[in-house]
Amino acid sequence: MIVLAVPKNLKVHAALFLVSLIYGANYSIAKIALPEYLEPFGFIVLRIGMASILFWLFSKTSVAEKVEKKDFLLLVASAFFGVAVNQMLFFKGLSLTNPINASVIMTASPIMVMLTAYVLGKEKLTVNKIIGVLIGASGAYLLLTKDGTSLAHGTFLGDMFILLNGTSYAIYLVIVKPLMAKYRPITVIKWVFLFGFVFAFPFGIEQLSEVNWTVIPPVAWLSIAYVILAATFLVYLLNVWSLKFVNSSVVGIYIYLQPMISTLIAVSFRGDRLDLITVAYSLLIMIGVYLVSKK
């Protein structure tokens, strides 16, 4: 029997495309359970708690790695910004906006990472980056305010939560970098999720305790399982495996696919509407991200 070998780089890009597909679909799939059956903070406690268990169990498949005491403070800070605040803002924002807006705003993450690194003195500004920030920020502002700035109507409040979510995650990416360089990724992430669960627990346990589990339909259960198993646990493992063969900039390029996938799914299955104004403002954000990321 002839076995055809698949090139390693093809496997890597297939894995990265799968990550983008999972994330892109997550914006619409998570909305099935949000907020009709699970309130945002309750969903987050469930998501972080279950994912934390999975990461700790997975870590048992390799030799245990001891973390130095001096690094626990950085792990706690990473958990606060990268898991607790980040995910609570994302789910709260997603419950108040639509998947298309949320996925587009999230593509601005590289801009926020660069600004955070600059403020912390870890990166210098260049002309390209300054222009990129201005263009990307203009696109984000126009997208956020295209339906007005009312906190009671439209998607403005939800969009703002998504933007703050991206900012929190940007801070996490900068402060977790030295930990990732020092320890294996699974060692870092299992502690980050454990501490993140401790932070999120007081905010979501009441919402979680009020859930009427008996009325949740099968489709909502599938939504919950997808968020925990695919959009949290699996994508992390795929990203970590991919980073063994390509650098982080290649992984970052795939963020551009997420709004396209999210839009296709939202328009096709949720009946969401895509207008030319949203497309134009989205392109401004992506041009800004390209200029910021360009070496």
CA nearest neighbour of 285 among 166, 198, 188, 203:
166
* Total-model pTM: 0.80
Instruction: For Cα atoms 152, 95, 106, give the angle at the middle one, nearest 5 degrees.
Output: 105
Q: Is the pLDDT of residue 5 over 60?
A: no
Residues 263, 256 contacting (CB under 8 angstroms): no
Residues 273, 267 contacting (CB under 8 angstroms): yes
Q: Is the pLDDT of residue 146 over 80?
A: no
Q: Is the pLDDT of residue 2 over 90?
A: no
**Model confidence band, residue 1 (pLDDT cutoffs 50, 70, 90):** very low
Could you list the beta-strand ranges (E) of the chain.
none
Query: 150 in a domain, yes or no?
Result: yes
Under 8 Å CB-to-CB from 290, ≥6 apart: which residues?
A: 132
Of the ranges 147-151, 192-196, 258-262, the best mean pLDDT one = 192-196
pLDDT of residue 47: 94
pLDDT of residue 253: 66
Query: 1 in a domain, yes or no?
Result: no
Which tens digits make up the pLDDT trace of 20-43? Answer: 899 889 888 988 988 889 999 999
What is the token pair recorded at 80?
Answer: 């606060």
pLDDT of residue 260: 78
Query: 2 in a domain, yes or no?
Result: no
Residues 101, 263 contacting (CB under 8 angstroms): no
CA nearest neighbour of 281 among 114, 163, 141, 94:
141
Residues 142, 66 contacting (CB under 8 angstroms): no
What is the percent of the chain where pLDDT is above 90?
32
Which tens digits make up the pLDDT trace of 100-122? Answer: 788 878 777 777 777 777 777 77
CA distance 162 to 108: 10
Of the ranges 8-12, 161-165, 256-260, the best mean pLDDT one = 161-165
Query: 57 in a domain, yes or no?
Result: yes
CA nearest neighbour of 51 among 184, 197, 242:
197
**Model confidence band, residue 4 (pLDDT cutoffs 50, 70, 90):** very low
Tell me which residue range forms the domain holding 122.
Answer: 8-293
Instruction: Give me the mean pLDDT over the 276-280 stretch.
Output: 81
pLDDT of residue 251: 65
Residues 179, 188 contacting (CB under 8 angstroms): yes
Instruction: Give me the mean pLDDT over the 59-79 stretch.
Output: 92
Instruction: Give me the mean pLDDT over the 260-270 stretch.
Output: 80
Q: Count of domains in the chain? A: 1
Mean pLDDT over the full length of the chain? 83
pLDDT of residue 43: 94
Tally of CA atoms within 13 A in the half-sphere of 78 that contains its CB: 20
Tally of CA atoms within 13 A in the half-sphere of 93 that contains its CB: 25
Which tens digits make up the pLDDT trace of 189-236? Answer: 999 999 999 999 999 999 999 999 999 999 999 999 999 999 999 988
CA nearest neighbour of 270 among 20, 32, 19:
32
Query: 3 in a domain, yes or no?
Result: no
Of the ranges 73-87, 126-140, 149-163, 274-288, the best mean pLDDT one = 73-87
Residues 265, 99 contacting (CB under 8 angstroms): yes
Query: 151 in a domain, yes or no?
Result: yes
Residues 144, 162 contacting (CB under 8 angstroms): no
